[in-house]
Amino acid sequence: MYNPELTPSPTLEIAAKAVLPTRFGKFEMFVFRWIDRATEPYGLSSEHVALVMGDVKGAYRVPVRVHSECLTSEVFGSLKCDCKEQLELAQSEIAHRGLGALLYLRQEGRGIGLANKVKAYALQANGVDTVDANRLLGLPDDARKYDVAAAMIQELGIQSVVLMTNNPQKIESLQALNIVVEGSSPVLAKTNPLSSRYLETKRTRMRHVLP
């Protein structure tokens, strides 16, 4: 059984890196391996990715997007959320600037894992929102952790960031982990009839800054 008092401190290492050509431009792709037994209850991956453009080492006010994996949207084209659109908007903006980092964290379903996320989808089909669906499953509203993102930013040598986010909690979490956040910029995706309620829940119940 998981006991945090007996768990060693997390460690971060660069497992691989290579140039990745994309339709937005060429990025340097880093695969980080994050060993943290605290993620084991939900079986989350230990591998996370940074897509980096430009010379970010020693740089200040670097545009950074901290993005959590969403298999349903990004791979299967789900219309229930705006995750794929946010990912692509951030990647496009970094390419436009020629400088920045997109940190892709493997924490599906706001950190509850894929199976729990799909269970929550089934509850949402009966009328509850994303927050109440998690609570009915006995899960946190948002189980994501950002210590791996902070460690990745430090490993890349970034001195301060402008965070590409609509979520104040991300800013607060990174600041609490000693990352200098000099500002933020919104990542606003178009809504559709199936995502509008999800986005409204983000705005009214999770403090996201959305129109």
CA distance 133 to 147: 26
Would strands 25-35 and 11-22 be described as parallel, antiparallel, or unpaired?
antiparallel
What six digits make up the tokens of 44?
Answer: 């989350």
Contacts of 9 (CB under 8 A, 6+ apart): none
Strand order in the sheet with 161-164: 11-22, 25-35, 47-53, 100-105, 62-68, 161-164, 181-185
129 given a catalytic annotation: no
- Kindly name the residue from 65, 82, 110, 144 that is annotated as catalytic: 144
Active site residue: 142, 147, 197, 203, which one?
A: 142
Q: Is 205 a catalytic residue?
A: no
Query: Cα 175–185–178 angle (5° rounding)?
Result: 10
Cα dist. 78→21, 81, 82, 144, 164 in Å?
A: 25, 7, 9, 21, 22
Question: 200: which residues sit within 8 A by CB, 6+ positions away?
Answer: none
Active-site residues, by number, are 142, 144
